[in-house]
Every structure is written in structure tokens, then in C-alpha cells.
């Protein structure tokens, strides 16, 4: 077993053994990038160390010694040599990047003797003392486990005593004093700082190994699903110094702009400085290029101006690295006395906006294949790009946190009632509607408000679903606030926010902030469209949308949807005149009265459908018949009941009685969906009439209509058959009346476990299935999505569930039912069209499942359409590899 690799012996594909940092250094060495030489001790050595009682494997010492000799020869210096000492750094580097989580020690090899040699060589006593005090500090803390604060305290005292602000202003005398005090601290703890450089080295190596198991590293791994047994590699590298005078400098750079993605070398540097200084923000860094200097209005000279040769060399390295690694690189460089070194290269982190541009540009430059470009952009980022975002540089005062239900940031005055939101909208004032929870009655207020904040509810609560459909910012389940409707205020701890106060909510993070927080609005850049076109060429899954209005349908079509997968007709039942007729229908005691009320709704509903059909010209439109229990349409509070009674000219007791009669213990499992259509066939008939009359009339306008009628909450073939018969009868009647022939389909939601279990029976008489995974998740788990927030919260904390099954499809349970339903359904009806229209239709992981399972399409809210297009393409690529 080989435990030590000299830089260049390994390559970029050996991350498992060399860690990410190590692999980058080896690879750069291989392709002749000027990297200070060094060697990597493998992760396997680290794993051995942990599994063998913190002892090193046999032969490791010997290997390290040989590598160190080789390094000495390379550098023409000797480790521990009094005249010409070699200094080294020891750095961790795991397979996956764990920035800042593990330890680093610099300047190893210094001691009272070698310091003199170094002073002689550099002529800079202060610099050498500075190196030494840093070594004592780092070694004392990391290896000898003396609290960091004890060193920090003395340093602070010293600065105060000297009357300076920065460590760099301390004189070499002060530093000499500091070094003594540091040595005393170490002694006080009964520890010894080893003078022997080899002993220093081994102390550092083992400390780096152990840092794999410090608390913050463990927590980071838990959060990022990094296995515990990977271990870290350890890189021992010759020190180079950017602070050896005016012909030295240090800096960091991105091969392209990580914020915008622009193909422009981007970076910062400091003359006569060490690496940390650039990021520490103590001195203002210089721009890299002249262009950059101009853009940032910097008065400091650029590298291009001061060191044109070095700049050219760096540009060539940039070119070489990008071409070699085929991605944006984040590099660190140091120039020691005119000589340029690259200390690190890694894939550069970027903003969502930049990710898109870089991927498309690199595909254009033929640096990467189209499919690779698609795989480079995380669909989650796409979602953020479509909404205004909180300016990352803004100062914010967070008062509470809820669940990030619908992305985007919004600012407005607090209102608590829908009517107030409507009133604000009329006055063109921005507002945030704050409710304990929302119900269909709030729909107008939600449409008027600029953002929604609720105290209760989960990621798939009414508020969450509706606002995502509207593409409107929403924070739900903000349990820590206390809403007082009566006094029109809410409290959080000691803070009281009243009606009219200005707040900002961030639907991407769940933050609730005071005042108007600055936002940035990202636009649909050209690259964005081009990326999605690439995705469209690749993907197999269709992408439809869940839209209930012509406006939403238009939004979704602009975002590239290929049809409507779910048009919920009940949302059309609210608002003005409609709700009145709907309530008349519900209050009705006889079929005749019901039909009279339905006749009033018919023309309105027909107009809704006409609008949608026009927008979706040439694309299929799935319309679901009435789904929610009727009591959702009745008022609940006494005042509203009295008002309705007056309007309808009946006694309040009549309405009260109806509300009572219709109330249900578990409305989710109650009289809804096809069950309504079966007990009141006239409702289904009216809806079918509205759909087919609209379809015929719009067809006459020269528009191509492809209607698909969907029956909800089906648990048996008999239920479906009953409703299908009503729809088909009406469809034929109307097409005959209007003299129009058109293709149409009648299909069903699969949203109850039983429907999946007997899918073969249903598929015999159904044209399509659409998995309603929201409800299917509810019944499969026995979770009510209105009540589940606090359960999921505690489950996540206890590690019982690692994800929210209402956001990401539960493959083991719900997914099993989907697979079973698909298999059984296609067995009796090979032409069955199968899609998914739950919230999961817009979730990338769930879309991957749909691709693997062989569904025909996913359907999601309009603002999720671009996400789904990209995710579908990625799923196709991933699963055909």
C-alpha cells in the first residue's frame, strides 16, 4: 500500500485517495503549472489512523521521510537546516470540499535556530518573527489543543499596549515579546512546542487527521450527507511567501466572473502580502486587469499594469486550467520575489445566474458537450432566477422564520384580512397578507397582496400551493409569531407588528424582516432561454402546468409548458357573483333548485374555459371536475352567515343548518371529488357542458382545442364509470348540437391508494391517469397536509424522516404505488397517458423518479415550468448514462 504521493504522481481523478485539494495540486503539477512542490498523505492513511487507535500504518514514517528528502532536493533547502531552512505547510483536504471545517498549519520547520537562517536569507526579521508567532499560535491550538482565545487575548493586549490597530503594524520587537509569551502559555498548559521540525511535522499531520472528527466537521458532514468513513488526506507543501517585499504579492481569482458568469478573468491581489490578508478585508485589494479596474472605479493599480509579465503568465494559466478542467476554476496564487506560484485550484462556486451563463457559454465554446452544460445547472437555482431576490449585501433585521413556501422577496404593509388586501391593491399600495392560515375564501386577498405570511401550515398548505401557482412570495408555518386578528397585530417575542407596518418576506429562505429590504431582480437572460432549449432537445418527459386561469396559463406557456396538466375548476367558483350562485346551489334542497343555480354558473364557467383554451391553442388541457367538499364554499363565521342569509333571503338558521349538515370530521376523506359528482350528477353535467360548449365555440374561432376531462378522488372503476358516462353523454350531445367533431379524453386522478391497487380495472375504461401525489402522499402516510408541519418538524429533528414527503416524492411508499398503478394500468390499456400533477411535478428529485418510472409528463405550477424542463432533461441524461 502506497500512502504518500509526491505532487504529480497522482492526478485529478484520484480525489478518493488524495482528497480534492491534493488531486488539484497533483494535476497542476502534471500539466506544468508552477505549483510549490510537496506531497500528499492519502485518506487511506487517515482511515488507518482512526481504525487503529490513532496509530499510523507501518512504513508511513519512512515514506514521508523519503518524500521530504525529495522535497528538500527540489527546493535546494533542508528541513531544519540552520542556514537555509525549508518551511512547509500541512493542510487537510477531503474527497468533498468542506471549506474551513478542518485544520491547517503553516510555517512548520521554524524554531529558534532556523529563524536565524531565515532572517539571514530574507533580511526581514519582522517577517520571520511574524511567521514564528503564527506557527506557535496554530500549533499550540491545533496540535496541543490550547484554546485559541488564550493566544488571541495576549495579541490584543499587545496591540493595545503598542497603540496599533493591525497585527501588521506590530514591530519585530513586539513580536519577539509575543513569541515569548506564547511559549509561556504553552508551558503553563504543561505542553511543549517541539523544536525538532520532524516532530513538529508529525504533530501537525496527526492533528490534521484528527480534525476530520472535530464537531464542526461532523455537523457539516451530517448536513451535506458526507460519509463518516471517508477520512481526509493531508498535503505537505513547501512554503512560498508573497510578503517578501515589493516584488512579492498574493491573490485569488476566478477564471470567469462568478456573479454574472461573464467570460472575464476576475480576481484580487495585494502586493507584499500573505494569502489571508486578501480575504481578511483589512487592506483594499487591487484589481487584476485594466478592464476590471475601470468597471470598479478602482484607483489602485491593476496587476496587468504593475506586473504585465506576471499578468500574462497568469492569463495563460487561467486559459490552461479552464481548458484542462473544463469548468470555471477558483485559484490561489502567490508571487515570491517575481516568481509566480499557484497554490490551489478548484471548481469555482457561482451564482445561479452565472451558472446558467457559464454552462451555455462553455457549450458554445465547445469546451463541454450540451448534455454536460445541462448537468452543470442545478434546477433549484432556476427557481430563484425567476423571482426577485433579497440583495445579498443588504442588512436585514430578521424577526421570525417560517417555511420557504414560494420563492421571491416582497415588501409591503401588513394587513390581516383579504378585504384590506384588496383595498390596498386598489390604492396601488403594496401589502403583505398575514393570516393564521388561508382558505379558499381568501383567494381574492391573496391575489391582491404582494406576499403572504401564515402562522400555520406546511409546504403544501393552501397558502403554499396557491401562491406557488401565482408565483407570489410566501412564507408559511411561521409558528413563532402570534396573530391577534381582533387588534390587528402580531407579536414575536417582545416585538409587536401592527397593521400598516412595513415588512419584507423572503419566500426563498422563510425569513420575515422589518422594513423595506433592498431586492435584486434577475431577468430571463438570453442564456437562460438557450439552456432550456438545450434541455428540451434532450428530455423525454413532457412538461405541463397546473393553471386555473388564462393569466396563469399564459405565464406557463411563456415559460414553455406543453399543455395544462391540471385546471382546478373550483378556484373559478369563488369571487363575486359566482360564489353567490354556488352557495345557492349548496343551499338548494332539490335537484331542480340545484340545476337552477348551476345554470347561473354555467355561462361563467364556460367563459373561463374559453379563455384558457384560447391561450393553450394546439396544446392539451386537462380540466378536473369539482373537487373540494361543498362546505368549503360556505361562510363559517356568524357575521358572514347572517350576511349571506340576508342576500339569499333565507333565515340564518337555514344556512347554519346546512353548514352543520355538511361539516365533516375529516374533510380530506369526506364528501368530495367524484363523490360529489355521483351524489349530485347535475354538477358534473354542468361542468361537462361548460367545457364542451367552450371547446366548440373556441374551435369555431379557428383555435385547436384538446380537452381532457379528469375525475378526482376515484377509488373504484364504478365511480369513474359513473362520472365518465355523464361526461361522454354531454360531450356527444354538445358536439352534435354544435356540429363539431373533436378528439377528447376522459381520465382520472390516481390520488388514493386503492386507485393504484386496482388501476388495471380503471385503465380499461379510462384514457389517462394523472397521479395526484399530494393526496396520495396524505393517504399513503396517513398525514394530513394541513396538520403535518409540527410532526415533520419533530421527525426531521429526530432523524425519522430526512425530507418532506410533500415536497419530494416518497419513492419507497408513494412511488411503489405509482409504479404499481402504471404497470397495472398499461397492462389493460397500453395507450394510457400517464402524468403527475401533484406538487412533486415541479421537484427535480421527484422528476427524476418520473423519468425512471416511465411516466409521460409532469405538471407543475407555471413558475416551476422552467425548473421542470431542466430537471426532466437532467433526469434523462442521468438515467441513460
Least gap, CB of 286 to a copy of itself (angstroms)? 53
Exactly one of 259, 279, 280, 800 binds a copy of itself (CB under 8 A); which one? Answer: 800
Neighbours of 665 (CB within 10 A): 6
Neighbours of 600 (CB within 10 A): 16
Least gap, CB of 200 to a copy of itself (angstroms)? 45
Least gap, CB of 816 to a copy of itself (angstroms)? 5
Of 278-337, binders to a copy of itself (CB under 8 A) are: none
Distance CA 589, CA 595 (A): 11
With respect to a copy of itself, which residue has the nearer C-beta, 337 or 790?
790
Q: Based on the number of CB atoms within 10 Å of its own CB, is 468 exposed (0-12), middle (13-18) or buried (19 or more)? A: buried
474 is an active site residue:
no
Least gap, CB of 181 to a copy of itself (angstroms)? 46
Q: Is 486 in the site for a copy of itself (CB under 8 A)?
A: no
Of 7-26, binders to a copy of itself (CB under 8 A) are: none
Least gap, CB of 777 to a copy of itself (angstroms)? 9
Contact segment (CB under 8 A) with a copy of itself among 265-273, 426-434, 484-492, 812-820 equals: 812-820
Of 815-834, binders to a copy of itself (CB under 8 A) are: 816-817
With respect to a copy of itself, which residue has the nearer C-beta, 156 or 663?
663
Q: Is 487 in the site for a copy of itself (CB under 8 A)?
A: no
Q: Among the options 462, 571, 631, 840, which is catalytic?
A: 462
Distance CA 371, CA 878 (A): 10
Least gap, CB of 784 to a copy of itself (angstroms)? 4
- Which grid cell is 709? 376531462
Distance CA 692, CA 741 (A): 11
Q: Among the options 431, 561, 696, 837, which is catalytic?
A: 837
Q: Is 492 in the site for a copy of itself (CB under 8 A)?
A: no
Least gap, CB of 762 to a copy of itself (angstroms)? 11
Phi, psi at residue 51, to the nearest 5°?
A: -85, 0
Q: Based on the number of CB atoms within 10 Å of its own CB, is 372 exposed (0-12), middle (13-18) or buried (19 or more)? A: middle
Neighbours of 223 (CB within 10 A): 8
Q: Is 881 in the site for a copy of itself (CB under 8 A)?
A: no
402 and 510 Cβ atoms separated by less than 8 Å: yes
Neighbours of 196 (CB within 10 A): 11
462 is an active site residue:
yes
4 and 12 Cβ atoms separated by less than 8 Å: no
Exactly one of 206, 292, 506, 810 binds a copy of itself (CB under 8 A); which one? Answer: 810
CA proximity to 636, closest of 607, 612, 667, 605: 667
Distance CA 815, CA 369 (A): 32
Taking each helix axis as running N to C, give the angle between helix 15-30 and helix 43-51, from 0 to 180 degrees, rounded to the nearest 10.
150
With respect to a copy of itself, which residue has the nearer C-beta, 378 or 479?
479
Distance CA 500, CA 489 (A): 9
Distance CA 734, CA 727 (A): 11
Least gap, CB of 799 to a copy of itself (angstroms)? 7
Of 674-713, binders to a copy of itself (CB under 8 A) are: 675, 678-679, 713
With respect to a copy of itself, which residue has the nearer C-beta, 470 or 788?
788
Least gap, CB of 626 to a copy of itself (angstroms)? 15
Exactly one of 799, 830, 831, 881 binds a copy of itself (CB under 8 A); which one? Answer: 799
What mask of x and - would describe binding to a copy of itself in positions 728 to 767, judged by CB under 8 A? -----------------------xxxx--xx--x------
Exactly one of 31, 659, 668, 735 binds a copy of itself (CB under 8 A); which one? Answer: 668
Q: Is 715 in the site for a copy of itself (CB under 8 A)?
A: yes
With respect to a copy of itself, which residue has the nearer C-beta, 44 or 786?
786
CA dihedral 240, 242, 247, 253 (to 10 degrees): 110
Distance CA 420, CA 427 (A): 11
441 and 464 Cβ atoms separated by less than 8 Å: no
- Which grid cell is 9? 504522481
With respect to a copy of itself, which residue has the nearer C-beta, 360 or 759?
759
CA proximity to 274, closest of 504, 102, 413, 89: 89
Distance CA 599, CA 610 (A): 17
Exactly one of 290, 422, 599, 669 binds a copy of itself (CB under 8 A); which one? Answer: 669
With respect to a copy of itself, which residue has the nearer C-beta, 307 or 783?
783
Exactly one of 682, 719, 804, 833 binds a copy of itself (CB under 8 A); which one? Answer: 719
Give the 3-state secondary structure percentages of the chain, helix then strand then coil, rounded to 5: 50, 15, 35
Neighbours of 771 (CB within 10 A): 30
- Which grid cell is 139? 500549533
Contact segment (CB under 8 A) with a copy of itself among 334-342, 523-531, 658-666, 846-854 equals: 658-666
With respect to a copy of itself, which residue has the nearer C-beta, 257 or 748?
748
Partners of 544 in the β-ladder:
859
Residues in binding contact with a copy of itself, number by CB under 8 A: 49
With respect to a copy of itself, which residue has the nearer C-beta, 395 or 812?
812
Least gap, CB of 842 to a copy of itself (angstroms)? 23
Q: Is 812 in the site for a copy of itself (CB under 8 A)?
A: yes
Phi, psi at residue 562, to the nearest 5°?
A: -115, 25
Sorted by sequence, the CB contacts under 8 Å of residue 655 that are 6+ apart come out as 587, 634, 635, 641, 644, 645, 648
Taking each helix axis as running N to C, give the angle between helix 814-828 and helix 773-781, from 0 to 180 degrees, rounded to the nearest 10.
120
36 and 106 Cβ atoms separated by less than 8 Å: no
The beta strand positions in 680-782, using DSSP E, are 706-711, 745-750, 768-771
Of 421-440, binders to a copy of itself (CB under 8 A) are: none
- Alpha carbon 828 to its chain centroid, in Å, reads 40
Q: Is 666 in the site for a copy of itself (CB under 8 A)?
A: yes
With respect to a copy of itself, which residue has the nearer C-beta, 84 or 784?
784
Least gap, CB of 185 to a copy of itself (angstroms)? 41
Sorted by sequence, the CB contacts under 8 Å of residue 340 that are 6+ apart come out as 34, 310, 313, 314, 317, 333, 334
With respect to a copy of itself, which residue has the nearer C-beta, 669 or 703?
669
Least gap, CB of 219 to a copy of itself (angstroms)? 19
Q: Is 670 in the site for a copy of itself (CB under 8 A)?
A: yes
Exactly one of 47, 300, 765, 801 binds a copy of itself (CB under 8 A); which one? Answer: 801
DSSP letter string, 835-860: EE-SGGGG-HHHHHHHHHHT-SEEEE
Q: Is 671 in the site for a copy of itself (CB under 8 A)?
A: yes
Of 769-798, binders to a copy of itself (CB under 8 A) are: 775, 778-784, 786-788, 790-791, 794-795, 798
Exactly one of 122, 716, 738, 853 binds a copy of itself (CB under 8 A); which one? Answer: 716
Contact segment (CB under 8 A) with a copy of itself among 146-154, 306-314, 531-539, 664-672 equals: 664-672
631 and 667 Cβ atoms separated by less than 8 Å: yes
Contact segment (CB under 8 A) with a copy of itself among 172-180, 593-601, 633-641, 715-723 equals: 715-723
With respect to a copy of itself, which residue has the nearer C-beta, 326 or 754?
754
The beta strand positions in 485-529, using DSSP E, are 489-492, 495-498, 502-506, 511-514, 519-520
Least gap, CB of 19 to a copy of itself (angstroms)? 32
Distance CA 844, CA 532 (A): 15
With respect to a copy of itself, which residue has the nearer C-beta, 170 or 817?
817
Active-site positions read 462, 837
Positions touching a copy of itself (CB under 8 A) are 664-671, 675, 678-679, 713, 715-716, 718-719, 722, 751-754, 757-758, 761, 775, 778-784, 786-788, 790-791, 794-795, 798-801, 810, 812-814, 816-817
Amino acid at each position: 500500500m502506497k500512502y504518500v504521493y509526491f505532487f504529480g504522481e497522482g492526478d485529478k481523478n484520484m480525489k478518493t485517495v488524495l482528497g480534492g485539494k491534493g488531486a488539484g495540486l497533483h494535476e497542476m503539477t502534471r500539466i506544468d503549472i508552477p505549483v510549490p512542490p510537496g506531497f500528499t498523505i492519502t485518506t487511506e492513511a487517515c482511515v488507518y489512523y482512526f481504525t487503529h487507535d490513532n496509530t499510523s500504518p507501518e512504513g508511513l514514517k519512512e515514506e514521508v521521510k523519503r518524500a521530504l528528502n525529495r522535497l528538500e532536493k527540489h527546493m535546494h533547502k533542508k528541513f531544519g537546516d540552520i542556514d537555509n531552512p525549508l518551511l512547509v505547510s500541512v493542510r487537510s483536504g477531503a474527497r468533498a470540499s468542506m471549506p474551513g471545517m478542518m485544520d491547517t498549519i503553516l510555517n512548520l520547520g521554524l524554531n529558534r535556530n532556523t529563524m536565524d537562517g531565515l532572517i539571514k536569507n530574507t533580511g526581514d526579521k519582522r517577517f520571520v518573527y511574524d511567521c514564528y508567532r503564527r506557527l506557535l499560535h496554530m500549533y499550540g491550538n491545533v496540535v496541543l489543543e490550547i484554546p485559541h482565545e488564550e493566544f488571541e487575548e495576549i495579541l490584543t493586549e499587545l496591540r493595545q499596549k503598542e497603540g496599533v490597530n493591525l497585527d501588521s503594524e506590530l514591530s519585530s520587537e513586539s513580536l519577539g515579546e509575543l513569541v515569548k509569551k506564547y511559549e509561556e502559555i504553552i508551558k503553563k498548559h504543561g505542553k511543549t512546542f517541539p523544536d525538532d521540525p520532524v516532530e513538529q511535522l508529525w504533530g501537525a499531520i496527526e492533528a490534521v487527521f484528527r480534525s476530520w472528527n472535530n464537531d464542526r466537521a461532523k455537523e457539516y458532514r451530517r448536513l451535506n450527507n458526507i460519509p463518516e468513513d471517508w477520512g481526509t488526506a493531508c498535503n505537505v507543501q513547501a512554503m512560498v511567501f508573497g510578503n517578501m517585499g515589493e516584488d512579492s504579492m498574493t491573490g485569488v481569482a476566478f477564471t470567469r466572473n462568478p456573479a454574472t458568469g461573464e467570460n472575464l478573468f476576475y480576481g484580487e491581489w495585494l502586493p507584499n502580502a500573505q494569502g489571508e490578508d486578501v480575504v481578511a478585508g483589512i487592506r483594499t485589494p487591487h484589481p487584476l486587469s485594466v478592464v476590471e479596474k475601470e468597471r470598479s472605479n478602482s484607483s489602485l493599480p491593476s496587476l496587468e499594469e504593475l506586473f504585465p509579465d506576471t499578468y500574462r503568465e497568469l492569463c495563460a494559466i487561467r486559459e490552461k486550467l479552464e481548458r484542462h478542467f473544463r469548468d470555471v476554476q477558483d485559484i490561489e496564487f502567490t508571487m515570491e520575489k517575481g516568481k509566480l506560484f499557484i497554490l490551489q485550484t478548484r471548481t469555482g462556486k457561482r451564482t445561479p445566474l452565472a451558472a446558467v451563463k457559464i454552462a451555455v457559454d462553455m457549450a458554445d465554446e465547445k469546451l463541454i458537450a450540451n448534455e454536460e452544460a445541462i448537468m452543470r445547472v442545478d434546477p433549484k437555482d432556476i427557481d430563484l432566477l425567476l423571482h426577485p431576490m433579497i440583495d445579498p449585501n443588504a442588512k436585514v433585521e430578521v424577526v421570525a422564520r417560517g417555511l420557504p413556501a414560494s420563492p421571491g422577496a416582497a415588501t409591503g404593509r401588513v394587513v390581516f384580512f383579504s378585504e384590506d388586501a384588496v383595498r390596498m391593491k386598489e390604492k396601488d399600495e403594496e401589502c403583505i397578507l398575514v393570516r393564521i392560515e388561508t382558505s379558499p375564501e381568501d383567494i381574492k386577498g391573496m391575489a391582491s397582496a404582494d406576499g403572504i405570511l401564515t402562522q400555520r401550515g406546511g409546504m403544501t398548505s393552501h397558502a403554499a400551493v396557491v401562491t406557488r401557482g401565482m408565483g407570489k412570495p410566501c412564507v408559511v408555518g411561521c409558528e413563532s409569531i402570534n396573530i391577534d386578528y381582533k387588534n390587528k397585530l402580531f407579536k414575536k417575542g417582545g416585538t409587536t407588528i401592527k397593521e400598516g407596518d412595513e415588512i419584507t418576506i423572503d419566500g426563498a429562505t422563510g425569513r420575515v424582516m422589518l422594513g423595506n429590504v433592498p431586492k435584486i431582480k434577475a431577468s430571463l437572460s438570453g442564456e437562460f432561454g438557450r439552456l432550456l432549449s438545450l434541455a428540451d432537445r434532450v428530455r423525454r418527459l413532457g412538461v405541463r402546468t397546473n393553471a386555473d386561469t388564462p393569466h396563469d396559463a399564459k405565464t406557463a406557456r411563456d415559460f414553455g409548458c406543453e399543455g395544462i396538466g391540471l385546471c382546478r375548476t373550483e378556484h373559478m367558483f369563488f369571487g363575486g357573483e359566482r360564489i353567490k350562485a354556488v352557495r345557492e346551489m349548496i343551499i338548494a334542497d332539490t335537484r331542480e333548485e340545484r340545476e337552477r343555480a348551476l345554470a347561473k354558473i354555467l355561462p361563467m364557467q364556460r367563459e373561463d374555459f374559453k379563455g384558457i383554451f384560447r391561450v393553450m391553442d394546439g396544446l392539451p388541457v386537462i380540466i378536473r371536475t369539482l373537487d373540494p367538499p361543498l362546505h368549503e364554499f360556505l361562510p363559517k363565521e356568524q357575521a358572514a352567515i347572517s350576511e349571506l342569509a340576508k342576500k339569499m333571503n333565507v333565515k340564518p338558521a337555514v344556512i347554519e343548518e346546512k353548514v352543520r349538515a355538511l361539516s365533516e370530521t375529516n374533510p380530506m376523506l369526506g364528501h368530495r371529488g367524484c363523490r360529489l359528482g355521483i351524489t349530485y350528477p347535475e354538477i358534473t353535467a354542468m361542468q361537462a357542458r361548460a367545457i364542451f360548449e367552450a371547446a366548440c365555440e373556441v374551435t369555431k374561432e379557428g383555435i385547436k382545442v384538446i380537452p381532457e376531462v379528469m375525475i378526482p378522488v376515484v377509488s373504484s372503476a364504478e365511480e369513474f364509470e359513473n362520472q365518465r358516462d355523464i361526461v361522454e353523454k354531454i360531450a356527444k350531445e354538445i358536439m352534435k348540437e354544435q356540429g363539431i367533431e373533436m378528439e377528447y379524453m376522459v381520465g382520472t386522478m390516481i390520488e388514493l391508494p386503492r386507485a393504484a391497487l386496482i388501476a388495471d380495472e380503471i385503465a380499461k375504461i379510462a384514457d389517462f391517469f394523472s397521479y395526484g401525489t399530494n393526496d396520495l402522499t396524505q393517504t399513503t402516510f396517513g398525514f394530513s397536509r394541513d396538520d403535518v408541519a409540527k410532526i415533520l418538524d419533530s421527525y426531521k429533528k429526530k432523524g425519522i424522516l430526512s425530507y418532506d414527503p410533500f415536497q419530494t416524492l416518497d419513492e419507497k411508499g408513494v412511488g411503489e404505488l405509482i409504479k404499481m398503478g402504471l404497470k397495472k394500468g398499461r397492462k389493460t390499456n397500453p395507450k394510457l397517458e400517464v402524468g403527475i400533477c401533484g406538487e412533486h411535478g415541479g421537484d427535480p428529485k421527484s422528476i427524476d423518479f418520473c423519468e425512471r418510472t416511465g411516466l409521460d409528463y409532469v405538471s407543475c405550477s407555471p413558475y416551476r415550468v422552467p425548473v421542470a424542463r431542466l430537471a426532466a432533461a437532467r433526469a434523462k441524461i442521468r438515467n441513460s448514462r
